[in-house]
Amino acid sequence: MGIKTADRTLDLFELFAHEKCPMTLSVIAEKMAIPTSSAHGLIKTLQSRGYLYEVSRRHGYYWTKKLNRQAEAISAAIPVLSQINPHLQQLCDELAETVVLGKRQGDAITYLDVVECRQSIRFSPVVGEVKSLHCSATGKAILGELGLAELTQTLARMKLDKRTDKTITSVTKLSAELAIQRRRGWYHVIGENIADLMSIAATVVVEGEIYVVGAGGPIKRFKPLMTRHAAQLMKTCKAIEQALN
């Protein structure tokens, strides 16, 4: 359960990121579906802290560069991510497909970095996106590395909701598939989360922490090259571990 004020502040960030233009108080309140008084308090607080400024009475409010500077300072202070990124960039170039870096957060996985390929039709996740463990390749890579007891407990409490007609919702079937893919060393999903997309993933251990590197794209383009892509993925994971440990 989220805290209302925090949720609304984050909703405001995401609203401006989506609209990409100044907005008046009334427009903000309408789009966020909150009372005008609540929107006013939120905006005035951020304005007083230097994050928002009033462009004009007619056009409303927009962000200053303070938010960008703060975000850049935070990102620069995470050396592991900046050190892994060049490897992700190289893998993206070699596969000509989108590459992601993820880490388990509870019973989900969060994308920490995304390198999008230049294909006009592509897998287009975003940094901060949260994915289910049971129907994403990155999530299956996490599940596959769990010991039997922890895996059993995790699957028992998870909701294996159906995303497409390919989604595995049976604990028995999912456990069997994870065992097969674990022996192979990498994991995949084909149309289990989004019908026409597939992805592959493998874990990488950096400073004792487990991360997941994944790659994905349209099934028709990706599937014929899946084995070749997986070999390159495994090579990249090995290179990351050698370079950072």
Residue given tokens 């009033």 in the structure block: 54
Neighbours of 188 (CB within 10 A): 22
Return the CATH number of 78-244, one of 3.40.640.10, 3.50.50.60, 3.30.450.40, 3.40.50.300.
3.30.450.40
Which pLDDT score is estimated for 2? 65
The residue extents of the domains of the chain are 4-69, 78-244
Query: Which tokens in the block code for residue 38?
Result: 């609540």
Q: Kindly report the pTM of this predicted structure.
A: 0.83
Model pLDDT, residue 161: 95
Residue located via tokens 């370079």: 243
Give the pLDDT of residue 21.
96
Is 47 in contact with 53 (CB distance < 8 Å)? yes
Is residue 81 within 8 Å of residue 75, measured between CB atoms?
Answer: yes
For position 149, what pLDDT does the model report? Answer: 95
Q: Do domains 4-69 and 78-244 have the same CATH topology?
A: no
User: Tens-of-pLDDT digits for all 245 residues of the chain?
Assistant: 568 899 999 999 999 999 999 999 999 999 999 999 999 999 999 999 999 999 998 999 999 999 889 988 887 777 888 899 999 999 999 999 999 999 999 999 999 999 999 999 999 999 999 999 999 999 999 999 999 999 999 999 999 999 999 999 999 999 999 999 999 999 999 999 999 999 999 999 999 999 999 999 999 999 999 999 999 999 999 999 999 98
DSSP string, 149-192: HHHHHHHHHS----SSTT----HHHHHHHHHHHHHHT-EEEESS
Q: What number of other Cβ atoms are within 10 A of residue 95's Cβ?
A: 21
- Residue 71 is predicted with a pLDDT of 85
Q: To the nearest 10°, the Cα dihedral for 181, 163, 190, 156?
A: 0
Structural fold of domain 4-69: Arc Repressor Mutant, subunit A (1.10.10)
Q: Residue 115: what pLDDT?
A: 97
| Residue pair 118/171 in contact by the 8 Å Cβ criterion | no
Got the DSSP string for 118-143?
S-SS-----TT-EEESSSSHHHHHHH
Q: What is the pLDDT of residue 72?
A: 84
